[in-house]
Amino acid sequence: MRLSTILAAIVTFTSVQASPVERRAPQTGDCITPTSSALQKERTVLLASKLIPDIYDDFEPSTTVAVYYHGDFVPYNASQGALDTLTAPSVYFPKPTRDGDDTTYTLIMNDPDALGDALGPSFLHWIRRGLKPSCDTPATDGGQDVRVYIPPTPPPLLPPTAHRYALTILREPKGGYAPDVLENLLKSASFDLRAYQQETGAKVIGSTYFLGSFTA
């Protein structure tokens, strides 16, 4: 076996192993370059956190998502207290390599730990549509809210006291959302990201998450 083959096998093995979630620092500026190792790591993190399969079917990410509250980068699985997250974060994401320049994206923030299974899959915190990828200024400075941001308020005593807050980037359907589809979909109190994709044609392409608790 050639040395390069062995090295490639080692690299693959170490990058797909589910390990405790590592903290991720932004590279240059405020955005992560969507290298294949960064994208693979994102998927590993989503598997370790069980967001795959709790809210996502398994998928190959094509963008990374960088979230900042009050100018501070929030790594995967970081703890945030309710006071840290009162106002909406700034979200950046690089353009997926294969997407055209006219593609637009939606950001969805939801909490799968908010409701019992009987009540529904998640609580919806934020939907902002019509975003363009950006690593220079927050992508969320553009676009329009479909659901205004509701700050996390995980109950201090009721378990689980730390909830996972997922921030997902979806590629919007070509030609945009059909009229009324979002309005009809968002009538119920609980939120199902799988149903959202099925009914709108939008597709999950990247994600990050943090742990919110009453006090961090």
> Which parts of this chain interact with ligand NAG (CB under 6 A)?
20-21, 48-49, 77, 211
The residue count of the chain comes to 216
Residue number with CB closer to ligand NAG (24 or 128)? 24
Task: Give the orientation angle of helix 36-48 with respect to helix 3-16, to 10 degrees.
Answer: 40
For ligand NAG, give the closer residue by CB, 164 or 171: 164
Written as six digits, the tokens of 179 are 């009229």
CB of 138 vs ligand NAG, minimal distance in Å: 25
Looking up tokens 């119920």, which residue turns up?
188
Element of type H or E holding 52 = helix 51-54
CB of 14 to ligand NAG, least distance (A): 17
With respect to ligand NAG, which residue has the nearer C-beta, 48 or 186? 48
Q: Which 3 state secondary structure label does DSSP give 11?
A: helix
Q: Name the closest residue to ligand NAG (Cβ).
A: 21
In the complex, what is the shortest distance from the CB of residue 212 to ligand NAG, in angstroms, rounded to a whole number? 12
Q: Give me the DSSP letters along 145-193.
A: EEE--------SSSSPSSEEEEEEEEEPPTT-PPTTHHHHHTTSSB--H
Identity of the residue, 47 or 186, whose beta carbon is nearer to ligand NAG in the bound complex: 47
Supply the DSSP symbol for 73.
E
In terms of CB distance, is 21 or 204 closer to ligand NAG? 21
Q: State the minimum distance, in angstroms, from the CB of residue 78 to ligand NAG.
A: 8
**Least distance (Å) between residue 21 CB and ligand NAG:** 4
Q: Provide the token pair at 160.
A: 């689980």
